[in-house]
Chain A
Amino acid sequence: MKTASHKVFNFHGGLLLDEHKSISTSKQIEQAPIPAMLVLPLSQHIGVAAKPCVAIGDNVLKGQLIAKADGRVSVPVHASSSGKVVAIEKRHVPHPSQLKSECIVIETDGRDSPVEAEYTGLTNYHSLSTDELRQRIQDAGIVGLGGAGFPSHLKLKPNGHHVDTLILNAAECEPYISCDDMLMREQAPAIISGLRIMQQALHAKNCMIGIEDNKVEAFAALQTAIDDSDDSDDIEIVRVPTRYPAGGERQLIYSLTGKQAPSQGRPLDIGIVCHNVGTAAAVHNAIIEGKPLLSRVVTLTGSGIPQPRNMHVLLGTPIDDLLEHCRANRDDIGRTMIGGPMMGFVIDSTTAPITKTTNCVLVTHQRDVKKPETALPCIRCGECADVCPVNLLPQQLYWYAHSQEFDHIQDYNLFDCIECGCCDVVCPSRIPLVQYFRFSKTTIWQQEKDTEKSNKARQRHELRLERLEREKIEKRERHNRKKAALKKEPDKSEDPKKAAILAAMKRVKDKQVATNISPANTENLSAEQQRKIDEANARRAEQNKDKNGS
């Protein structure tokens, strides 16, 4: 390991926040019990939802594949314990929209019987090709565990770029959340091992670990793990000053390397890839142990939880079960949030399960839930711009968001906003700035979608008009051709109608001759036949006369 202290670059803005982390780090990570029901959403990641491959009534084993990845930008879902599939239906999931989403519901049998893995773990993963590594990581259902949930195998593909540095994000800058901290303290070797696997998948030259300087124990654990691993010259662990949002991907990259990932691009464009420490541990479990992602560390904290703690929780465990396990008094709970107080979101239904991206359940006692204050007009004090880590002008963005001038707001780089919430916290007028920005973003997205839709409709309409026009022209041309053809024939009688009739009759005759078919068998009759016909006609005439007479 390099021992020289690394230069840290300071990103613009940011805030020193009350951490509230130590309340949940006093005890070791605890194993949460197997719940009676597991609710496993098919979409716990960014991308295409997985496709169920079990049916209601099927018995499933722990680790069994229950939903397959649907394409490249997708990951599978595994049963996190053994039991029986009792439903595949829409359930509450932890999502800011509060909408329900398709889930596989498993009634657990408590035996936790594991399935035979399709592949076993291997210590010598060096023999695997990078594609095989990525395939195994996708098969294990691994996504970014820091909160975003982007399928990890995609972020481990250099796509022709040369990867200079692989950064492990160990900053965990949001208040209250301590799951990464505890994981580092307890599973540092697994994290370093996972880091190595990722490094191989990316062919990354160097590795860096960025950790906030408030995590002393985690830092020491990682350092020990690095020292214990052989040939650790290319891993550098760097302490960054504790300042929110130091753990923002772009902020951390800048702090460690002084490089800014392009605003419309990805860190990969500047030869950097950034993964979360939890993801590294999951990669280790998948490759070395051969285990798919079945559980994660979740911080249960806040004033509504009697003893805040971190737990290994099976994916799909309803939040209600965890609250009960922690003996949280339901009547005291004022607000339940997923994630931290800065970037998390409030959920209405605590029946929602823990998913791959649920890093923290923040429960606030009702006495601590403050009534929202009325926002005053913006006085353009510029405090927001001073703390903005992206160097935006939130006061101007707010102005345009408020007046719904969505062209101007994009000129002021709305889409570079990372919604960290710093501007909200310092605003003396108490304007919910981030909400204005989120609203503007979704409105613009909706407008773009609508424009696209109407463009398509217009295109369709134009094509139809074109077709009709073309058909009209063709019809006219056909008509003209016909006319011309008629005109070509010399006309004796000069009456065009008569001539047309004559021509038509001639055509019919020609055709008949050509095909040698007679319209009826009334030609070339014998005398006998003719007589019979005449008789029949006479009879028919007689009958008609009678009929008319009667």
Chain B
Amino acid sequence: MITNTPQVPSSASVSKLMLHVGYALVPGTLAYVWLFGVGVLVQILLACVTAIITEGLILALRKRPVAQTLSDGSALLTAVLLALAISPIAPWWIIVLGTAFAILFGKQIYGGIGYNPFNPAMLGYVMLLISFPLEMTNWPAAFSLLEQTPTLQTSLDVIFNSGLGVDTVSGATPFDAIRTQLAQGLDIPATLISSDYGELFGALAGVGWEVVSIGFLLGGVYLLLTGRIAWQIPTAMLGTIAILASVFYLIDSTQYISPLLHLFGGASMLGAFFIATDPVSAATTPRGRIYYGIGIGVLTFVIRTWGGYPEGLAFAVLLMNMAAPTIDHYTRPTVFGQGKG
């Protein structure tokens, strides 16, 4: 079995792929740390340690090669993505619980990398969001942090001592604010200039959020240009969100969020380039990936606009994960010689 063709040296490897995805996360993450505090790094660290311990433990229980499997980097990537998705001031047990859940129930229970039908990070995120809505929606406001950057000590206090004695301005995300205000009958232009929330919004979208989004966009473009992710999913997803948002914004700009805010105010960029493109749980045919991206775009927009949660991306990804096998089945490419010659 082992001595057969092709016998051509190849440098492709899963760990290399994961490593480059990790590199691509750097600009967005740095911006995130700069604008939202060093707490982000604490969360990432907590997530990584939890992921390694959980995955290592399960692998040992399943009698699988621990070191080799851990070195593929996929568990770490899941951990980092989940850490980036939760609030930097969430208590420590949130990220520990979420990461352990993601690794255990999102991945290992199905047989480990390659066999998970759902994106593990998003599964962990949704579990946390449903179980602990308060902790999950309490975000620091970037503008206040700009004035008074929290030290490592304050961040640790917030995360490990539930913020006792720490005076951090915390509040809602831009989407949250608009949703709350709309529910109270205040339209969007009014919210953007209101005394309570006006400071949340910047030139493009939300203060801080827009810079972080641009960081993730840069990383995503790097992955696209180096051919490490397929172009179809992010293009279709962002395109769909942009088109839908524009149409509704043009219909009624007082009730619908602007396309720019949609693209740069939430998790769109992180989701489009780093979460929806997780190959294991995504559609795998070229045409299928377009439908998959469109599906995530539509669902994200629908949930953000009319759903019960301010950010619908995680739900959209999980729902499309379920649809991926069916999409693949119906989008098989025409095999050479079977089409019209």
Contact = CB atoms under 8 A, between A and B. Distances in A.
Interface of A: 11-12, 17-18, 96, 175, 250, 254, 259-263, 265, 270, 335, 337, 339-346, 364, 370, 372, 374, 376-383, 385-386, 389-393, 395-396, 412-413, 416, 421, 424-430, 432, 434-435
Contact of A259 (B2, B289, B328, B341): B341
A385 B286 contact: yes
B5 A341 contact: yes
Interface of B: 1-10, 12-14, 16-17, 68, 72, 74, 111-115, 230, 279-280, 282, 284-286, 289, 328, 332-339, 341
A12 B338 CA distance: 14
Nearest to A371: B2
A377 B2 CA distance: 17
Contacts of A383: 12
B10 A426 contact: yes
Contact of B114 (A270, A344, A379, A385): A379
A374 B113 CA distance: 15
B5 A345 contact: yes
B335 A263 contact: yes
16 contacts: A260-B341, A340-B5, A346-B5, A376-B72, A379-B14, A381-B17, A381-B279, A391-B334, A393-B284, A393-B333, A412-B332, A413-B335, A416-B337, A425-B10, A432-B4, A435-B1
Contacts of B112: 377
Contacts of A392: 335
Nearest to B278: A379
A393 B332 contact: yes
Nearest to A15: B8
A92 B16 CA distance: 42
B28 to A, nearest CB: 22
Contact of B8 (A265, A339, A342, A429): A342
A54 B332 CA distance: 55
Contacts of B230: 382
A38 to B, nearest CB: 28
Nearest to B336: A390
Contact of B328 (A260, A261, A340, A396): A396
Contact of A425 (B2, B8, B332): B8
A18 B8 CA distance: 9
A11 to B, nearest CB: 7
Nearest to A376: B14
B6 A335 contact: no
B113 A12 contact: no
A393 B13 contact: no
Contacts of B16: 428
A381 B115 CA distance: 13
Contacts of A263: 335-338
CB-based closest 10 A-B pairs: A377-B114, A421-B6, A263-B337, A381-B279, A372-B2, A390-B336, A260-B341, A428-B12, A346-B3, A342-B6
Contacts of A259: 341
Contact of B5 (A342, A377, A396): A342
Contact of B6 (A341, A380, A389): A341
Contacts of B9: 370
A462 to B, nearest CB: 38
Nearest to B338: A263
Given A379-B113, A429-B14, A341 B335 contact: no
Nearest to B339: A260
A385 B341 CA distance: 21
Contacts, number: 141
B115 to A, nearest CB: 7
A434 B8 CA distance: 13
B335 A390 contact: yes
Contact of B285 (A364, A376, A385, A390): A385
A430 B341 contact: no
A425 B113 contact: no
B338 A413 contact: yes
B284 A337 contact: no
B337 A396 contact: no
Contacts of B339: 260
Given A342-B5, A380-B280, 10 more contacts: A18-B8, A96-B4, A345-B5, A346-B4, A385-B285, A413-B335, A413-B338, A421-B5, A428-B14, A428-B16
Contacts of A390: 335-337
Given A259-B341, A377-B112, A379-B114, A343 B5 contact: yes
A385 B336 contact: no
A15 B115 CA distance: 28
A310 B10 CA distance: 27
A391 B284 contact: no
Nearest to A335: B3
Nearest to A257: B341
Given A380-B114, A428-B16, A430-B13, A344 B337 contact: no
A542 B181 CA distance: 142
B30 to A, nearest CB: 27
A531 to B, nearest CB: 101
Contacts of B332: 393, 412
Contacts of A339: 5
B341 A434 contact: no
Nearest to A439: B1
Contacts of A374: 68
A427 B12 contact: yes
B336 A345 contact: no
A434 B5 contact: yes
A17 B6 CA distance: 12
A262 B335 CA distance: 10
Contact of A434 (B6, B13, B68, B115): B6
Contact of A389 (B279, B336, B338): B336
B317 to A, nearest CB: 15
Contact of A395 (B68, B284, B334): B284
B3 A341 contact: no
A364 to B, nearest CB: 8
Contact of A379 (B7, B280, B285): B280
B5 A262 contact: no
B333 A262 contact: no
A335 to B, nearest CB: 7
Contact of A393 (B1, B279, B285, B336): B285
A261 B328 CA distance: 26
Contacts of A393: 284-285, 328, 332-333
B293 to A, nearest CB: 14
B284 A376 contact: no
B335 A378 contact: no
Contact of B341 (A270, A343, A428): A270
Contacts of A429: 14, 114
A337 B113 contact: no
A255 B263 CA distance: 42
A391 B335 contact: yes
B284 A382 contact: yes
Contacts of A343: 5-6
Nearest to A413: B335
B221 to A, nearest CB: 19
A503 B172 CA distance: 118
A421 to B, nearest CB: 3
Contacts of B341: 259-262, 270
B231 to A, nearest CB: 11
B335 A377 contact: no
B335 A380 contact: no
A386 B337 CA distance: 17
Nearest to B3: A346
B339 to A, nearest CB: 7
Contacts of A345: 4-5
Contacts of A335: 3, 7
B284 A385 contact: yes
Nearest to B69: A376
Residue among B2, B6, B333, B341 having the largest count of chain A Cβ atoms under 10 Å: B6
Nearest to A348: B3
A321 B280 CA distance: 51
Contacts of B338: 262-263, 413, 416
